Structure 1
């Protein structure tokens, strides 16, 4: 397998996100995802600001958590849906996600009414780039990197549009885009597909089932993300695929731990940061040892 090719800007991203306070401060564009995704990312963003980095967060006007007062620069853009639309589609998404977990496998989920929630999220990127004033501001501001949640794909499109190095912050990636873009092998004979309920010790029948699920992802995932890829193609003025958007990612910060994943090789730019959202534990109180003599 060919080694992963890292862009020249990779050391810069490492300095921005992982280095100590002695590193030179940079300017970071943050493209978050709403809801529970934002809780963890916000902690990281606040830590970056504490270390002296300049941060600008781009968010839609309609959201659950992103509209709350924040201690850093925020740029908003109008969207074509209401809060009620967002709540309705999210409820459908939750219901379908529960059903897919019961059925096993990601394919039923990809072909379910939950797609409406994703279509709504994908439309954010079109709304953002329709805001010419905001786009001009982002263009004129010399950002060093994009720190993004890939759930709605827009951060990837922004990074490619402005030719900026990108740092993905996520628990995982739908479909096969992580293994393809980061060149991490995930053979279906040993690595179960998402939501398959299989383990890494599979019978021949289970391996066949896992292979079919893998082939199904290859067949259906591009359809699921079609509108996101179409919007990105319109913005970039050239046809692009989801793999084209994920491939330039400089660093993958995955909110999990290798002990929770099935054994597989990962590339040096894939970094497990599981537990980053856990509160720092308080030291135990002193225990006085008492001895009793008889």
Structure 2
């Protein structure tokens, strides 16, 4: 991303995350997801901290790429699994994907990723088992929660403390983005994820698109069962995926609308392109004389 575009993007994030007004800095609770998801979010968190916002990042002791920084406070909590466990489950999933010839959502969600999800989702229960950490978060009086919604822990934290949430994501599998943002997604011309269809479908492709959507609802309900059980225990009431995703105040979508097929969007859905990886390094300067010698 060019420096000017990155500056504009971060200024937009700061404006959205300041729920206390434009006069002063905000107090932000960050609940990231480990792995490559954090690489993109970390750039934003660093800049927000440098601009004067008080940032506290809550992360598990075990995870990928969850490094600390002097620019913000980090609070950690123990987990019920070790890094070797995560690596083992992820290796099982990747090996299964290489062997599979299918590239649809059904094959993805019925693969060994299901058990991998259970490892990832279980860390949220460990967070709430840390009574000292929960008391610290309660007394800190944050203005908002900034989170990756994929593992849903940040959404649970936001709902538990009754805080507005700003999510930062490339997109969500299944139907949770459309339902959470209350954005219409007509199956007649909006193809489902990994369906392989375009926005100009034939009649039978539209029928298959509808069947695919129904299949998503059943599969996703199954894969999130353990997560919603954890959420129900924490919030002490029955919880659905819609309850958590609809609590989101702003959806920061790190993509560009030109990469997707035309579909309705809501005012709280903001497209932010070019932030799906770490900030690039400057290219070496090459003169035309060196090119002639090639």
TM-score by length of 2: 0.86
Paired residue for 2:217?
Answer: 218
Further displaced range: 197-206 or 132-141 = 197-206
Change (3 A) 1:109 1:284: closer
Distance 2:137 2:286 in 1: 53
Secondary structure, in 3 states, of the residue corresponding to 2:150?
Answer: helix
Secondary structure, in 3 states, of the residue corresponding to 1:275?
Answer: coil
Change (3 A) 1:196 1:99: farther
| 2:118 pairs with 1:113 | no
Change (3 A) 1:282 1:67: closer
Paired residue for 1:123?
Answer: 122
| 2:18 pairs with 1:15 | no
Paired residue for 1:29?
Answer: 29
Paired residue for 2:48?
Answer: 48
**Superposition deviation, residue 34 in structure 1:** 1.0
Change (3 A) 1:179 1:188: same
Distance 2:188 2:98 in 1: 26
Matched pairs, number: 273
1:119-268 correspondence to structure 2 within 5 Å: 119-268=118-267
Paired residue for 2:66?
Answer: 66
Secondary structure, in 3 states, of the residue corresponding to 1:250?
Answer: strand
Q: Please tell me whether the aligned partners of residues 49 and 71 of structure 2 are also in contact (alpha carbons under 8 angstroms).
A: no
| 2:39 pairs with 1:39 | yes
Structure 1: runs of 5 or more not aligned? 1-12, 289-294
**Superposition deviation, residue 189 in structure 1:** 1.5
Change (3 A) 1:70 1:206: farther
Distance 2:105 2:70 in 1: 35
Q: Please tell me whether the aligned partners of residues 105 and 193 of structure 1 are also in contact (alpha carbons under 8 angstroms).
A: no
Distance 1:173 1:98 in 2: 22
Distance 2:75 2:68 in 1: 13
**Superposition deviation, residue 99 in structure 1:** 6.1
Distance 1:59 1:222 in 2: 26
**Superposition deviation, residue 270 in structure 1:** 0.2
**Superposition deviation, residue 96 in structure 1:** 4.2
Further displaced range: 145-154 or 268-277 = 268-277
Q: Please tell me whether the aligned partners of residues 40 and 276 of structure 2 are also in contact (alpha carbons under 8 angstroms).
A: yes
TM-score by length of 1: 0.86
Change (3 A) 1:70 1:195: farther
Structure 2: runs of 5 or more not aligned? 1-12, 289-294
**Superposition deviation, residue 150 in structure 1:** 1.0
Q: Please tell me whether the aligned partners of residues 104 and 197 of structure 1 are also in contact (alpha carbons under 8 angstroms).
A: no
Secondary structure, in 3 states, of the residue corresponding to 1:152?
Answer: coil
CA RMSD of aligned residues (A): 2.4
Distance 1:208 1:16 in 2: 39
Distance 2:92 2:150 in 1: 17
Distance 1:273 1:196 in 2: 24
